Amino acid sequence: MERQPVRLTRRSFAASGLGAVAAAALPRFGSSAASAQEAVDLNFHIWQYGVETVQDNIKRFHELYPGVKISLSDVPWNSYHEESVNRLRSKTPTDVMYNGGDWLEEFATAGWVVPLEDHFDWVRGYQDKIFPFAWQDMVFQDKVYGLPYYADTITFMYNEQLLKDAGIASPPQTWEEVTEQSLALKAKGMEYPYLYVLAQDLPTVSEAFVSTVFGRGGELIDENDEPLWTDPNSPAAKQFKWFVDARNVDKILTFVSNETDAVGAMSTGQHAFIVLYNYHLAELNDAARSDRAGQFKVALMPGETHECYGFSKFYNLTKMAVDRGPEVVNAAGEFIRYFAGEIDGQYPIAKRWAVENGVGFGVKPLFDDPDVRAAYSKWIDVDKWTEQLSLARAQRHTPWQGIWNELFRLEHVRAVAGETSVEDALQASADNWNELKSQFGG
Amino acid sequence: MQQATVAHDRLPSEARWRGGRRRLGVRGTGVLMVLPVVLLIALFTLYPFGQAVYDSMRLTSPFFPGRFVGLDNFRNVIGSTYFADAVRVTLTFTALAVPVTVLASLLISLLLNERFAGNTALRAAMLLPWALPASITGIVWKWMFLDSWGAINVGLYELGVVDKYIAWLTSPRLAMMAVVVAFMWAQTPLAATLLLIAVQRVPHELYDAASLDGAATTVRFRDITLPAIQPTLVIVTLYQILMAFTTFDITYALTHGGPGTATTMLTYFTWAESFKMLNFGSGAALAILVSLASVLVITVLLRAMPKEALLGEAR
C-alpha cells in the first residue's frame, strides 16, 4: 500500500519553529524528503552559455530532487553585470546565480549575496579540493561565497601551422617576440597576425588584459588598492601600450567584438595569435566548427613570469533566498552541491562541462579523471596546459571593480583606436579608479 | 404602457445629457473623448519623463543613498569628452543616414509606382526588413560586414574585386558607413511605402497633360511629383531624423559603439552611463538632453520650412 505523503505548507513549517532543525535533519531533498515537502521554487539566474546543457542538468537535478523546482533565467554575458545589479536591486526573485570574482565584492558589499559557509558547514571541506586561484576568487573578507560553476585560465593561443609555414619554430616567449613574429608573418602576407577581442561593453576584455599583465609578472593594484598602472614602467602600463602600439604603430593587430566572432576569424587562417578563455581552444580545434582544427596550440603567456589569470565563475546564494526561509536555503544548498560539488564521489556537472565543452574546472580530482584527460587531449597539449595551470593566479579585487572595468574598457578601446594617447587613457583610468574608491569609502 | 413608462423614464437623463453637452460644448466633449488616451500617454510617457527629470538632479546609484545634486549631473555629462564625441558622432550619422535613406526611399517609391511584372510581390517583400527587430538587423549586417569572414568581404574577394579583405568594422569611417547602410536597410521600407502612397495620389491627368506638352521625365518629376508629395516627404524626413538621432539597437549589435567610440552615439552613451557605469542620475540627465535636442531639431526644422512644404501647395 502506497503511503500518503504528509504535506506541510511553508508557513506552518516555519511557524513550527522547527524549520532550521528540520532543514539540518534533512540534508537532501531527495525523493523521500520531497514526498514530505511542498515543492520549493528556486530562481536560478545565469549568463548565456550552453543554456541547453544547463537545462538538461536541471532536468537531471529534478529527477533526483523532485521537491525542488528550478526556474531558469538567462541573459547575455555582455550585459550580465548590469542586469544582475538591477535584478538584485529591484528584488526580482533570484535565489542562486552565477557570479565571478570581479563582481563578488560589489555584490557582497551591497548585501545581495551571502557567504555559502554561513549556511552550509560542508562548504569549507572543499577548500583542499579546489585550485587555489579558484578558491581565492570565491572568497571575500575570509568568507567563501560560492562553489565553482567552472574555473579556467585565460591563455595565449597560436596557430602552429601558420608559424611553421612562416619558418617560425616556436611560439613567442615575450610580448616583444609576439611583435617580432607578427612582423615576420606580416612580411609574408598576413595583414593582422594578432587578433584581439575588444569591445567597450565586453567583460572579457578586462579579464584578458589582466591575464596578459600577469604574463609580465604584474598586477593592476597593490595591496592597498592603489592603481599600479600610473607608473609607465609598470607591467600594466607596458602591456596597455603594447596593445596600442600593435594596432597603431606596428599595425599587426585587429579586433573583433566577441569570442564567437574571434573563433570564426581565427578559423579563417588570417590570424596567428590570440588571448582567450582557455576553453575556446576546444572550439578552435573542433573539426565540426573549424577548418583548421588541430592547428591551434596553447603556449605559456608571453612575459617574464608566464603567469596567467586564473579565475572561478561560481554559484552564489542570494540574500533574497535567505530571506525566503530555511527550506529555500536548504534547497539552494542541495542545488549548488549537485551542480558544483561531489555526489557519490563524482563531480557530475563540472565533469560534463569539461568533457563536452572543454570548460575548465575548479575541483582538483577532475584533473586526474581519465575521461577528462582523454577529452582534453583531443584539443590541448595537456602537459603544456598543466604547466600554465600551475602558473595561474587570481587577481586582487575591490567592490568598485565591476563599474571601473566599464570605464577602463572605454579608455582602452579609445586608445587602441587611436582616439586618445596611452598616457591620457591610463591617467583617466586612474582618475576613475580613485573617484570610485573614494565613493565606495575604500 | 410599459414602453411609455420607459420612454418617460429616459427623458430626464437625455435632457441631462443634452444639457451636459451644451455645458461642455464641442471643445469640452472633444477633451472628454481624448482624455483616456491622454491619460495613457501620461502614464507611459509623462510619468517616466518626470521621473527622469527627478533622477537627473539626484545622485542615483544602486550602491549609495540618493541625494539631490542640482544640475551637477548635467554639468558633468556635458563637460565630459565622451559627451562631445557622442554629439559629434550622432550629428555625423544623422547627416549621412537621413539623406541617403530618404533618397533611396524616394527612388524606390517611384520605381514601384511603375507597372512591371512582380511589382506586387516586390512591394510585399520590401517590407520584410522593416518587420525585423533592429537588433536582428544589426546582427545580420554584422555577419555581412565582419572583417575576417563577413559575406561582403568573402564575396568581393571571390569575385576578384579586392585582393585583401576590407576592414569594414575596425576602420572608424567604414564602420560608420556600415551603420548607415544597416539603418537605411531597416528604415527604407516604411519611408518608401509612405512615399509610394503619396506618389499614387498624384492625378494621372497631370502627367498626361505634361506629356502632351512635351515635358521630359525629369521635368514632370520636378514640377508635378515633387510638389505633390512634398508634405509626405517632409514628414518622412523629420521621422527619419528622429529615428537616426535615437538609433541604438543597430549600433549595439553591429559595432558595439566602436571601433573606439567611432559609432558611439548619444543613445549608446546614455545606455552605457546608466546601465554599464550604473550612474542612473547622469544617464537620466543625458536622456533629457537627447529628448530636448530632438525636440529642438524638429522645431527648428518645422519653423524653417515654408507652410506650403507641410500643407501642400494646393492649400
Residue indicated by cell numbers 554599464:
B276
- Report, as an integer, the average pLDDT of A6-20: 38
Distance CA B225, CA A114 (A): 69
Q: Which residue has the higher pLDDT, A176 or B215?
A: A176
Helix (H) or strand (E) holding A58: helix A51-64
pLDDT in tens, A2-12: 333 333 334 43
Q: Which residues of A touch B86 (CB under 8 A)?
A: none
Helix (H) or strand (E) holding A106: helix A101-109
Q: What angle do CA A101, A103, A109 make, to 5 degrees?
A: 110
B274: closest CA of chain A, how far (Å): 9
Helix (H) or strand (E) holding B93: helix B81-112
Confidence (pLDDT) at B137: 92
Pairing state between β A308-318 and A392-393: parallel
- Report, as an integer, the average pLDDT of B285-306: 87
Please tell me which residue of chain B has the smallest CA distance to A81.
Answer: B276
Confidence (pLDDT) at B310: 67
Residue indicated by cell numbers 593561443:
A157
Same domain, B89 and B179: yes
Confirm if A274 and A286 have CB atoms less than 8 A apart: no
Least confident of A35-49, B74-88, B94-108, B110-124: A35-49
Q: Which residues contact B280 (CB under 8 A, 6 or more apart)?
A: B55, B60, B61, B62, B274
Confidence (pLDDT) at A88: 94
Helix (H) or strand (E) holding B28: helix B2-41
Q: Which residues contact A356 (CB under 8 A, 6 or more apart)?
A: A53, A375
**ipTM at complex level:** 0.81
Pairing state between β B67-68 and B58-59: antiparallel
b vs e for A185-212, b when ≥16 Cβ sit within 10 Å of the residue's Cβ?
Answer: bbeeebbbbbbbbbbbbbbbbbbbbbbb
Least confident of A15-19, A159-163, A285-289, A341-345: A15-19
Distance CA A146, CA A150 (A): 11
Cα→Cα distances B290→A42, B75, B269, B294, Å: 41, 15, 11, 6
Confidence of residue B5 (pLDDT cuts 50, 70, 90): very low
Same domain, B129 and B276: yes
Q: Which residues contact A371 (CB under 8 A, 6 or more apart)?
A: A351, A355
Distance CA B109, CA B195 (A): 6
For chain A, say whether B258 makes contact (Cβ under 8 Å).
yes
Helix (H) or strand (E) holding B59: strand B58-59
pLDDT at A392 over 80: yes
Q: Is residue B114 part of a domain?
A: yes
Helix (H) or strand (E) holding A151: strand A146-159
Give the mean pLDDT of chain A.
90
Confidence of residue A18 (pLDDT cuts 50, 70, 90): very low
The CATH number covering residue B131 comes to: 1.10.3720.10
CATH 3.50.50.60 fits A154-309+396-439, yes or no: no
Give the mean pLDDT of chain B.
88
Smallest CA-to-CA distance from A67 within A87, A41, A91 is with A41
- Report, as an integer, the average pLDDT of A345-357: 94
Confidence (pLDDT) at B20: 52
Distance CA B176, CA B141 (A): 13
Confidence of residue B41 (pLDDT cuts 50, 70, 90): confident
pLDDT at B39 over 60: yes
pLDDT in tens, A22-63: 333 344 444 444 444 578 999 999 999 999 999 999 999 999
pLDDT in tens, A413-436: 999 999 999 999 999 999 999 999
Torsion region of B200: left, alpha or beta (phi above 0 gives left; psi -120 to 50 gives alpha): alpha
Confidence (pLDDT) at B22: 57
- In single-letter form, the type of residue at position B194 comes to L
Look at B64 and A439 and tell me if their CB atoms are within 8 Å. yes
Please tell me which residue of chain B has the smallest CA distance to A418.
Answer: B260
Range of the domain at B22: 2-56
Residue indicated by cell numbers 590541448:
A380
- Report, as an integer, the average pLDDT of A272-280: 97
Minimum-distance CB partner of A254 among B62, B147, B261: B147
Domain ranges within chain A, ordered by starting residue: 10-152+310-376, 154-309+396-439
- Report, as an integer, the average pLDDT of B54-68: 87
pLDDT in tens, B241-280: 999 999 999 999 999 999 999 999 999 999 998 888 888 8
Confirm if B309 and B235 have CB atoms less than 8 A apart: no
Percentage of residues of chain A with pLDDT beyond 90: 84
DSSP secondary structure, B178-222, as one string = HHHHHHHHHHHHHHHHHHHHHHHTS-HHHHHHHHHTT--HHHHII
Least confident of A34-48, A117-131, B93-107, B282-296: A34-48
Q: Which residue has the higher pLDDT, B6 or A161?
A: A161
- Report, as an integer, the average pLDDT of B281-286: 94
Confidence (pLDDT) at B184: 96
pLDDT at A191 over 60: yes
For chain B, say whether A357 makes contact (Cβ under 8 Å).
no
Distance CA A286, CA A303 (A): 28
CATH H superfamily, domain A10-152+310-376: Periplasmic binding protein-like II (3.40.190.10)
Same domain, B202 and B270: yes
Pairing state between β A308-318 and A113-114: antiparallel
For chain B, say whether A75 makes contact (Cβ under 8 Å).
no
pLDDT in tens, B6-38: 444 444 555 455 555 556 788 889 999 999 998
Residue indicated by cell numbers 532536468:
A59
B74: closest CA of chain A, how far (Å): 18
For chain B, say whether A73 makes contact (Cβ under 8 Å).
no
Distance CA B75, CA B57 (A): 11
Topology match between the domains A10-152+310-376 and A154-309+396-439: yes
Q: Is residue B70 part of a domain?
A: no
Look at A261 and B146 and tell me if their CB atoms are within 8 Å. yes
Q: Is residue B279 part of a domain?
A: yes
B153: closest CA of chain A, how far (Å): 12
Number of domains in chain B: 2
Same domain, B101 and B193: yes
pLDDT at A371 over 80: yes
Smallest CA-to-CA distance from A243 within A227, A229, A230, A254 is with A254
Q: Is residue B75 part of a domain?
A: no
Same domain, B307 and B237: yes
Confidence of residue A82 (pLDDT cuts 50, 70, 90): confident
Percentage of residues of chain B with pLDDT beyond 70: 90
pLDDT in tens, A211-227: 999 999 999 999 999 99
Confirm if A351 and A247 have CB atoms less than 8 A apart: no
Residue indicated by cell numbers 548607415:
B180
**B121: helix, strand or coil:** helix
Confidence (pLDDT) at B306: 72
Look at A413 and B258 and tell me if their CB atoms are within 8 Å. yes
Confidence of residue B311 (pLDDT cuts 50, 70, 90): low
Minimum-distance CB partner of B262 among A106, A198, A417: A417
Distance CA A331, CA A328 (A): 5
For chain B, say whether A406 makes contact (Cβ under 8 Å).
yes
For chain A, say whether B256 makes contact (Cβ under 8 Å).
yes
- Report, as an integer, the average pLDDT of B117-121: 90
For chain B, say whether A92 makes contact (Cβ under 8 Å).
no
Smallest CA-to-CA distance from B92 within B200, B17, B175 is with B175
Helix (H) or strand (E) holding A70: strand A68-75
pTM for the full model? 0.84
Cα→Cα distances B315→A411, B227, B236, B306, Å: 55, 12, 20, 13
Note the residue count of chain A.
Answer: 442
- Report, as an integer, the average pLDDT of A227-254: 98
Distance CA B78, CA B96 (A): 24
Chain A / chain B CB contacts < 8 angstroms = 91
Same domain, B210 and B134: yes
Percentage of residues of chain A with pLDDT beyond 70: 91
Q: Which residues of A touch B261 (CB under 8 A)?
A: 200, 410, 413-414, 417, 419
Residue from A87, A260, A268, A284 whose CB has the most chain B CBs within 10 Å, to mutate: A268
- Report, as an integer, the average pLDDT of A307-314: 96
Confidence (pLDDT) at A19: 38
Q: Is residue B146 part of a domain?
A: yes
Smallest CA-to-CA distance from A103 within A429, A316, A401 is with A401
Confirm if A93 and A72 have CB atoms less than 8 A apart: no
Instruction: Provide φ and ψ at A98, rounded to 5°.
Output: -70, 150
Same domain, B89 and B52: no
Q: How many other β-carbons are positioned within 10 Å of the β-carbon of residue B252?
A: 22
Distance CA A97, CA A70 (A): 12
Distance CA A191, CA B117 (A): 47
Q: Is residue B284 part of a domain?
A: yes
The separation between CA B118 and the C-alpha centre of its own chain, rounded to angstroms, equals 29
Q: Is residue B283 part of a domain?
A: yes
Q: Please report the sign of the dihedral spanned by the C-alpha atoms of residue A183, residue A188, residue A189, residue A194.
A: negative
Same domain, B51 and B89: no
pLDDT at B215 over 50: yes
Same domain, B186 and B41: no
Q: How many other β-carbons are positioned within 10 Å of the β-carbon of residue A275?
A: 26
Q: Which residue has the higher pLDDT, B31 or B306?
A: B31
